[in-house]
Amino acid sequence: MDKRNKILLVEDDESLGYLLSEYLKIKDFDVSWAKNGEIALKNLENHNFHLVVLDVMLPDIDGFNLAKKIKIENPKTPFIFLTARSLKVDVLKGFSLGAMDYLKKPIDEEELVTRIEVLISRLHPSDIEQDLQKEIHQIGAYVFDSKNQKLIFENEETVLTARENELLLYLLKNRNQLCAHKDILDLLWGKNDYFNRKSLNVFISRLRKYLKSDPTIKIRNLHKKGFVLRVED
């Protein structure tokens, strides 16, 4: 069985797409290169990917809209943006859609590989680490299935994105303790900067919304310090 990590590269620029796909193959990734959004969606229908590397500027669909479709149709598939659009509003929009990272062109190929390896190692831990992880958690009236990225309340299921899943798991493992902004960002985002802090706030807001049906569960914000997941017994 081929155990290489499967990457879907969505890039319409012929030169850059060829360069990145070949470089990732040299680094032992299993790469599928889609030159537009339509091809990307067909690939996602027929194959499972560990990560999607997504350009924003595509000929047939805006990359942000494609990301929305990925979230709806493949909610467990993580994605990152690779784009020349570097305005603050674009970066924040990318994170608000659930992007794991937002890389600005031009990017060094080795940096891209490093970012991808870090993300995948966090999202897909080794078999030994998986054996050590408890997969079903009780959070108040909710059941949190971290393996399948599901949050269950009574008969309702919410499918979490990869980032929502790992953030909730981190908060839960440190329940009733302060989770400092820096620690969360360094561990899950790999970088503590303005855009990632804004992104963290977006994901915290989403988790609060998902958990609102049980009033005994609170994610409290300690100003300029971090967050605490409190669950009353």
Please name which of 89, 86, 54, 85 lies closest in space to residue 70, comparing C-alpha atoms: 54
pLDDT reported for residue 127: 45
Q: What is the dihedral of CA 39, 90, 15, 107, to 10 degrees?
A: -130
Binned average pLDDT, 10 residues per bin, the chain of 233 residues: 81 92 93 94 90 91 89 86 80 84 85 85 56 72 91 92 91 91 89 88 95 95 92 79
pLDDT score of 130: 47
Q: Which domains does the chain have, with CATH numbers?
A: 6-124 (3.40.50.2300), 131-231 (1.10.10.10)
pLDDT in the model for residue 128: 36
pLDDT of residue 193: 86
pLDDT of residue 22: 94
Element (H, E) at 210: helix 194-210
